[in-house]
Structures are given as C-alpha cells and as structure tokens.
Chain A
Amino acid sequence: MLNFPVYALTLIVYVVCSRLSLAHSGPRTSMRLFAAGNVLTFGWLTLLTQVDPWSETTIRDLGSSAILRHIALVGSYVALIAFGYVLVRRFARSDGGASWIAFFYPLLLLIVFKYLYFLWQPIVKIANWEPWVLGAAIIGLSYMAFRLSYLVLEVRNETVEMPTLSEYLGFAFFLPTMLVGPINPFREHQSSIRAIEDREIPYGRCLMRVLVGLTKFLFLANLANQLTYSGIFLDGKPHLLIDLGIAAVFYYFFLYLNFSGFCDIAIGIAGLMGIKVRENFNNPFAARNVKEFWNRWHITLSEYTKDVIFTPLSKVLIGKLGVRHANSAIALSIFTVFLVIGIWHGVGWNFVLFGLVHAAGVVSNHLYTVFLKRRLGREGYKSYNNNRLVNAFALLITFAYVAFSFSVFANDRAMMGIIKNAIFS
C-alpha cells in the first residue's frame, strides 16, 4: 500500500516520457528512447517489488548487494532477450528449418526459467538468495516468450519489416502488455508506432478504458474474490455443497474481472501512448460452447495457438492420416493446443487437467456440430442454432462447464483437500 503512490507516479512518468519519445522526429532516436524507457522502468518496477522506497534502511542500502544483484539480474535478462534479436536477424528469414532456432529461443528461455526451475536452485542456494529473487527479475517472460516467438513468424512471413534492436527491445519490454498480455502481435505494435504522427489519439476513450479497468481490477474483482474458493473455504468451517457452486461461479467472475480489468488498463495506457493493443475479451459469458468461449476469452492466446500450433499441426496430421481421418486429426490438434495452454498457465498437474478439460469441451463441440450437420442438414442445423431455447440452454451449460473447469485451475491438491473436508466431513 505504501508503494502505491510510487507505482502511480512511475506509471504517469512512464506514459508521458514514452509518448514524448515516440513523438520525437528522428525514428532511430525515438525508438532508442522508447526501448530504454521501457527497460529502465521495468527494472525500477521489479525493484519496487523487493524494496520499500520510503524506508530509511532502503535509502541506506542504496548500492548495497541486493540492489546491485537486481541490476545484474535484470541486465542479464535484457542480454538474453537481446541475444534473441541476434537470432532473429541471423535465422528468421533463412531457408530450411533454421528459422525455428529463432522461433524456439524465447520458448526455450521460458521452459528453462519457468519449468526447469530446479536447474537454478543450486545457484540460488549457493548465492544465498531468497527463493523469489530470480522470479522477480524475469517477470513477464511467459507472455514475452509467446510474443517474441510469434514475431519470428511475422518476420519470416514478411508481414512485418525486420525490426531494429531498439524496436525489438521496445516491443519485448513493452510494459503495458508484459505482465498479463494481451499477446499483441508485432505487426500491430510496429504499424501503430509508425503511424503515430498521422493518428489523433482518443485520450478520453483511452482514459475511460483505464478507469473501467482499474474499477474491475481493484474493486469488483476484490468483491468477487470474497466468494471464490479461497474466500469461502479457507475459514476453517464446514460448508454446504451449494457453496461449491457459488465458489465456482464467483471464481469465474473474479478471473474475468481481474484479467479483463488488467487488459483494459493495458489497452488504455498503450492507447495513450499511441500504440494499438489487441482486445483480449469479448463478453465470454455470452459463449454458447467451449469453442466459442475461447474466441471470447483470452482471444490473443487463442489466435497465437491457432496460428502456431493448431493450423500447422492439423494440416500435417490430415496430410499424414488422410482426409477421411480429418476429424481425428482435428481432435488431436485441439488436444495438443489445450495441453500447451494448460501447461503455459502454470506448473502443476491441475493446469494440465484444466487444458484437457477444455480440449474435451472443444472436441465434443466439434464432433457434436459434425453430427448435427449430418443429421439435420444445412437448413435444419441453421434453425437449430437459431432456436432461443437451445441457445439459452447452451449458454447455461457453457457457463457451468467453464466455471467448473476453473476449479482445477484455481485449486491445487491441498486446496481441493480443504474443500472436500469442509463439505463432506
């Protein structure tokens, strides 16, 4: 709480300076200033998570080993990302499979730092660091890895020009989308920066997005959180079975308000600087099936996995298995996509299960659609889809399915044990 004014001030200075640097007439200097601003602000904000700037001891400790360590870690992080740029320049437009080196490099960083954390534990132990020190320096890697790997495809497919190092770092460390997305493609980022002088920024609209996002993120999400699994079941008391349903529904609301609120803030702030960031939500509660849900929820992740995994994989599988087995190929591709989505969300069996539950939902929907089209014919299927009762039932079923699927996302084994005891003991 004490840091709140510092965060707010940092944000204001960051937005103003970024806007000014992008308005600079020389594009090279402009991008250098923009990249430097993002990297430095990232270093400062991650430092703030570890120290209290108001504390006398912190002021006394300026230049102490903890701060120097943080600078060294963030510096190394920037260097690792910058090396990715070298690979992009060297391999992204190479023939053959070499471009995959540049594509997989950021994903490899993600795997090494997030999933193979045990590799780092000896170093952390020998250096006598607190367990969170390394994690604090590489915040945002999950989203950055996807954005940067996608950038390689964009460069390879020539949908964007080869970025300069400043453009690459400015995109990689673009603060509004670093923490929780959206996974904005580079073409959107680059084209909006290049068109910055021709565009009139709708400041009122951007500020409104920020305000609504803050209200969702700080206020409404906190209210909803009072009735989520942790809000209800961690009070050490027995509970009714209906509380499980209430927790499932409110956890869904909480996730939406928290996540979409943060994305609203990101889109609004980026807009204030003149940079377009893609929308990530489109009223997910209106989804009539799980497949549609993923077109309304975390849209940029769906687009990424569609372009990077689903489309190429299903093509390869159909090619190998033959058109007769297209449905099986599609089902297998969907399971692969959601397995990756599950694992990407976090380390633990519950995230894998979350992915599989959604894969089952999407595959069932796909097969049911194929079945209905065959059974009802084109016109029959159309009228079935337009039936209000069917639609209402589909909305309800989808809402319940998604809400309960989040129970495995929200609760690890220990928490599930607590819930089980609270209801059944």
Chain B
Amino acid sequence: MSNAGSDKIKTTEFVRPAFDSYAQAGFFLLLVLVPLIVPALLDRRNAGLEKAAYEMVPEDLGAFSFVKNEIFEKNDDLDILFLGSSVMFAGIDAAEVRDSLNRELGRPAKIAVFGHYFNSIDVSYVQLRDLLEHRRVKMIVYSIPRSQFTEGPSPSGVRFIRYNDVPELTPELPLQGKLSLYASSVLNLPKDLLSLTRRNLEPPSPFAEDLGADVQQMAMGRDVGKFVRIEPPPPGFEASELVGSTDDRSKFRFSKETVSDYQKVFLIRLFKLASDKKIPLVLLNIPQLHEKRSPKIIGLDDWAREYGVETEIIGIAPAELFEGLADSEIEKLYFDERHFNQNGNEFFTRAVLPGILEVFRQNEK
C-alpha cells in the first residue's frame, strides 16, 4: 500500500488550491457551463427527440408510453379524448365508454385516456398539443385538477417538459416558473443527451388494454389486500340532469382555490388550443370523497366565466350521485380522498355516460 502515484500530494501545504493548473480550472468551468447552457440551445422537437420525450418518463409517473403510441403510431381520428391528471386517469372506464359508443355509432369507436399521476395541467397541455399535431380529435373531455398546484413544473412535468418544448408559451410564464422549468431542463440534460446517442426501449404499455386508463393497475400504492369489490347499481340519470353550464348557479359551488400562475398559463392555452382547432371541449366534474353528501357540484373555479370559454360541464351533485349508498359503501368506491378505485371507476363512468354520449351526439350534428 505504498504511495505508487507518481504525482504525490504536497502534504506540507496548509490548504491545496482547488485546481493544480489553469487547464484544470478551465476544464472544470466547462463542465459547469455546458449543462447550464445546452438546455437553452437544445430543441428536442428539432433534434429528433419528440418521441424520446415520452419514452424518458418513468412508467410510475403515468401512461406516457401509451400516450406516445396514440400520438405517434396512429393516424386515425379519435372520437373522444379523456384528458386530465390522476383523478381522470383513475376515474374513467374508457372501455365502457367505447362499448357504448360502438353501439351508438355502429362502428368501432376510438377512445383514449391521457392521464398521469400528480396534479398537473402542463403535462396535459403538451400531450394535447402533440396529439393535435398528428391526429384529429372529435371531442375532448377534460377534468381540471383541483388542488396542490406547484409554482413551477408539476412533478410529472419536471420529468416530461423541457424549456424549449413549449416556445409558444414560455414568454407568458412567470419568472419563477420559467427558472424552475429551465432548472429541470438542466437536471434532465444527461438523459436527453443519452437519448440522442442510443435508442430507448419501450415496453408494451400496461395501460393499453384499458385505453390509457388506470383501472386494473392497482396503482399509486393501493393496498390490494384492503380492496373490497362492490358493484352498486349505477344511478340512472338522464343526460339533461348531467349536462349543464355554470350559468345555472344553483347547481354549483366553487371552492375558490386558485391555480398557480404557472399552471394557469397552460390551462388558458389548453382551452385556446381546443378552441383554435374547433374541437368541442367539455369539462367533467369528478367528485371527491369528502364531498359525498354535497347537494351542489363543487369545482375549483368558474373557468367558463374566468376565461370566457364556452364549455359545457358534465357532472352531478355528489348527494344525488351517491343517493341510497351508505357512507361505508361510498368509501369502498375510492382509493383515497380524491381518486376512485375500480369500483368507483365503473360506478361513476356508468353514471355520467348518458351525459358524455349526449354531448358527443350534439357535436356530431
């Protein structure tokens, strides 16, 4: 264990300088500056990393590989796109909607759910934008996330979106959010560069069978052992009871929780994108567990009025939705406070299905 290194350290020095030479200092500076500068120059969409953007997101953040296939591997029209974060991801039984629409249309309907974990609007916007660049969509059903917004990229957005991915709206982003987005681009740079040098492998998406919905994955740490299967008969609502607008103030109560300035930019752009492409966008209200006896539909804010968006809302007051069910039965419909489990997913989808089909019918006309 003798010191075999030819360039021994001078042990007599009190504190060694940080660098032994100017060349070493220059190399270090380069090592720091390159990752700081490259994200400003790297445009993934022009660098052939458009698909890799989806492939790089870990599977436990959502159905990104399914969404990638829907966007880049298919080119037929999509009848209904369900868009939203984890509440929509776990809340809609897309196969049930597809089967009903098949019967209605007399042909195979094309349905997809673009969902992911964590509350985010930024991810939904980018996914919708990319989809509309490749496929036509006849109707969008969007569930606006309702709490825990970050003043910057969402937890899924940190892994998914880079600074140059959204040039159309970066000027509008608040400075703090812009800096956060840039910082996440710096942090993700090694993976972006790795994707440039070798291809990413993609597994078959576990969500493909359920058209992108998180129905059977028992995801988000759900304790399978605690899951109790129940199949309460769905309430038979008429479409007219389910579809409305916020003009009818007696049906709604807005919690007045605010979306962060950063996510608000994406939300406004998401509405505008649908509007520019003349795609009907309808909001779907998915109730939370603590609202179970509320006589009114509870929303985050009156988006239609706030942004001048003319859109319909599909929803039903939780007290009506769960009428006849005991509290203990309602709890068995939820995975946690905000997310339906498989029981709730099926129950809720069947309850609101007439409304979804009615809005689709109207738009087809």
Q: Which of B151-192 contact A (CB under 8 A)?
A: 186-191
Residues in B whose Cβ lies below 8 Å from that of A231: 190-191
The answer to whether A340 has its CB under 8 Å from any CB of chain B is: no
| Pairwise interchain contact A295-B3, C-beta atoms closer than 8 A | yes
In whole angstroms, how far apart are the Cα atoms of A227 and B35 in the complex?
14
Nearest Cβ on chain A to B37's Cβ, whole angstroms: 13
In whole angstroms, how far apart are the Cα atoms of A93 and B19 in the complex?
42
| Pairwise interchain contact B201-A219, C-beta atoms closer than 8 A | no
The answer to whether B28 has its CB under 8 Å from any CB of chain A is: yes
The answer to whether B250 has its CB under 8 Å from any CB of chain A is: no
The answer to whether B58 has its CB under 8 Å from any CB of chain A is: yes
| Pairwise interchain contact A237-B201, C-beta atoms closer than 8 A | yes
The answer to whether A167 has its CB under 8 Å from any CB of chain B is: no
| Pairwise interchain contact B202-A209, C-beta atoms closer than 8 A | no
Residues in A whose Cβ lies below 8 Å from that of B18: 205, 208-209, 211-212, 264
| Pairwise interchain contact B187-A238, C-beta atoms closer than 8 A | no
Q: Which of B23-65 contact A (CB under 8 A)?
A: 28, 31-32, 35, 55-60, 65
Nearest Cβ on chain A to B1's Cβ, whole angstroms: 4
Residues in A whose Cβ lies below 8 Å from that of B14: 192, 199, 201-202, 271, 276
- The interface-forming segment of B5-13, B70-78, B292-300 is B5-13
In whole angstroms, how far apart are the Cα atoms of A132 and B11 in the complex?
38
| Pairwise interchain contact A295-B191, C-beta atoms closer than 8 A | no
Interface size class of B (residues with CB under 8 A): 35 or more
Residues in A whose Cβ lies below 8 Å from that of B188: 226
In whole angstroms, how far apart are the Cα atoms of A278 and B14 in the complex?
9
Q: Map CB proximity to A onto B186-210 as digits: 1 under 8 Å, 0 otherwise.
A: 1111110010001111110000000
Residues in A whose Cβ lies below 8 Å from that of B105: none
The answer to whether A298 has its CB under 8 Å from any CB of chain B is: no
Nearest Cβ on chain B to A19's Cβ, whole angstroms: 14
| Pairwise interchain contact A227-B5, C-beta atoms closer than 8 A | no
The answer to whether B224 has its CB under 8 Å from any CB of chain A is: no
Residue of B nearest to A307 (CB): B1
| Pairwise interchain contact B187-A206, C-beta atoms closer than 8 A | no
The answer to whether B16 has its CB under 8 Å from any CB of chain A is: yes
Contacts A282-B7, A294-B1 known; A240 to B201 CB distance under 8 Å? yes
Residues in B whose Cβ lies below 8 Å from that of A332: none
In whole angstroms, how far apart are the Cα atoms of A310 and B201 in the complex?
48
The answer to whether B4 has its CB under 8 Å from any CB of chain A is: yes
Q: Which of A205-243 contact B (CB under 8 A)?
A: 205-206, 208-209, 211-212, 215, 219-220, 222-224, 226-227, 231, 234-240, 242-243
Q: Map CB proximity to B onto A233-269 as digits: 1 under 8 Å, 0 otherwise.
A: 0111111101100100010000000000000100110
Nearest Cβ on chain B to A252's Cβ, whole angstroms: 14
The answer to whether B17 has its CB under 8 Å from any CB of chain A is: yes
Contacts A202-B15, A268-B15, A302-B1 known; A226 to B7 CB distance under 8 Å? no
The answer to whether A148 has its CB under 8 Å from any CB of chain B is: no
Residues in B whose Cβ lies below 8 Å from that of A205: 15, 17-18
Nearest Cβ on chain A to B110's Cβ, whole angstroms: 26
Residue of B nearest to A195 (CB): B14
Q: Is the interface of B mostly helix, strand, loop or mixed?
A: loop
Contacts A212-B18, A238-B201 known; A278 to B5 CB distance under 8 Å? no
| Pairwise interchain contact A209-B5, C-beta atoms closer than 8 A | no
Residues in B whose Cβ lies below 8 Å from that of A240: 198-199, 201
Nearest Cβ on chain B to A267's Cβ, whole angstroms: 6
Contacts A206-B15, A223-B189 known; A282 to B5 CB distance under 8 Å? yes
Nearest Cβ on chain A to B237's Cβ, whole angstroms: 38
In whole angstroms, how far apart are the Cα atoms of A362 and B190 in the complex?
33
| Pairwise interchain contact A208-B59, C-beta atoms closer than 8 A | no
Q: Is the interface of A mostly helix, strand, loop or mixed?
A: helix
Residue of B nearest to A294 (CB): B1
In whole angstroms, how far apart are the Cα atoms of A296 and B9 in the complex?
9
In whole angstroms, how far apart are the Cα atoms of A238 and B35 in the complex?
27
Contacts A292-B5, A337-B1 known; A226 to B187 CB distance under 8 Å? yes
In whole angstroms, how far apart are the Cα atoms of A227 and B190 in the complex?
7
Residue of B nearest to A220 (CB): B31
In whole angstroms, how far apart are the Cα atoms of A220 and B33 in the complex?
11
| Pairwise interchain contact A209-B15, C-beta atoms closer than 8 A | yes
Residues in A whose Cβ lies below 8 Å from that of B3: 295
Nearest Cβ on chain B to A408's Cβ, whole angstroms: 22
In whole angstroms, how far apart are the Cα atoms of A246 and B3 in the complex?
30
In whole angstroms, how far apart are the Cα atoms of A344 and B205 in the complex?
43
Residues in B whose Cβ lies below 8 Å from that of A286: 5, 7
Contacts A240-B201, A278-B11 known; A246 to B1 CB distance under 8 Å? no
| Pairwise interchain contact A279-B9, C-beta atoms closer than 8 A | yes
Contact of A295 among B4, B187, B189, B200 (CB under 8 A): B4
Residues in B whose Cβ lies below 8 Å from that of A15: none
Nearest Cβ on chain B to A328's Cβ, whole angstroms: 17
In whole angstroms, how far apart are the Cα atoms of A192 and B12 in the complex?
11
| Pairwise interchain contact B5-A226, C-beta atoms closer than 8 A | no
Nearest Cβ on chain A to B24's Cβ, whole angstroms: 9
The answer to whether A175 has its CB under 8 Å from any CB of chain B is: no
Q: Map CB proximity to B onto A273-295 as digits: 1 under 8 Å, 0 otherwise.
A: 00010110011001101011011
Contacts A235-B59, A237-B203 known; A306 to B1 CB distance under 8 Å? yes
Residues in B whose Cβ lies below 8 Å from that of A276: 14-15
| Pairwise interchain contact B32-A219, C-beta atoms closer than 8 A | yes
Q: Map CB proximity to B onto A19-56 as digits: 1 under 8 Å, 0 otherwise.
A: 00000000000000000000000000000000000000
| Pairwise interchain contact A234-B58, C-beta atoms closer than 8 A | yes
Binding site for B on A (CB under 8 A): 192, 199, 201-202, 205-206, 208-209, 211-212, 215, 219-220, 222-224, 226-227, 231, 234-240, 242-243, 246, 250, 264, 267-268, 271, 276, 278-279, 282-283, 286-287, 289, 291-292, 294-296, 299, 302, 305-306, 310, 334, 337, 362
Closest 8 CB pairs of A and B: A236-B59, A235-B58, A271-B15, A306-B1, A238-B201, A226-B190, A212-B18, A292-B4
A205-B18, A226-B187, A234-B58 known; 5 other A-B pairs, CB under 8 Å? A226-B189, A237-B200, A268-B15, A278-B11, A362-B1
24 interchain pairs (CB within 8 A)? A192-B14, A205-B17, A212-B28, A223-B189, A226-B188, A226-B190, A235-B59, A236-B203, A237-B201, A237-B203, A238-B201, A238-B203, A239-B201, A240-B198, A264-B18, A267-B15, A268-B15, A271-B14, A276-B14, A276-B15, A291-B1, A295-B4, A299-B9, A306-B1
